């Protein structure tokens, strides 16, 4: 076998990850502030962030603006899963 290229996990994730999807529900205390504080240190990346919000019978999703594109580092993903719950953080690849 001959490799055509070698990339780190992070480089491969940056190249293939379309967006990070975060799930939030009505009643979760300070979810906006929580997400903002977790994403802020990783801004200026190439990965979009989508938020899927549910309130009772209604739900919707919105994509954060370009200023909130993040660097999808292991620390960010781990922190999001730890604080929001493993099932509330979805990595969507091309």
Selection from 73, 55, 76, 53 nearest residue 63 by Cα: 53
pTM across the whole model: 0.85
Angstrom distance (rounded) from CA 55 to CA 27: 8
Please tell me the predicted confidence (pLDDT) of residue 3: 67
Selection from 8, 13, 7 nearest residue 76 by Cα: 13
What residues does each domain of the chain span? 9-93
Per-residue pLDDT of the chain (94 residues; tens, 9 = 90+): 776 777 788 887 878 899 999 999 888 778 889 999 999 999 999 999 999 999 889 999 999 999 999 999 999 999 999 999 999 999 999 8
Please tell me the predicted confidence (pLDDT) of residue 2: 73
Angstrom distance (rounded) from CA 24 to CA 44: 23
């Amino acid at each position: 076998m001959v490799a055509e290229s070698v990339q780190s996990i992070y480089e491969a994730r940056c190249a293939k990850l379309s967006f990070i999807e975060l799930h939030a529900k009505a009643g979760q205390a300070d979810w906006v502030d929580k997400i903002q504080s977790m994403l802020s240190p990783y801004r200026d990346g190439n990965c979009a962030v989508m938020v899927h919000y549910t309130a009772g019978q209604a739900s919707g999703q919105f994509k954060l603006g370009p200023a909130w594109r993040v660097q999808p580092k292991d620390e960010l993903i781990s922190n999001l899963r730890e604080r929001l719950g493993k099932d509330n953080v979805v990595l969507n690849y091309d």
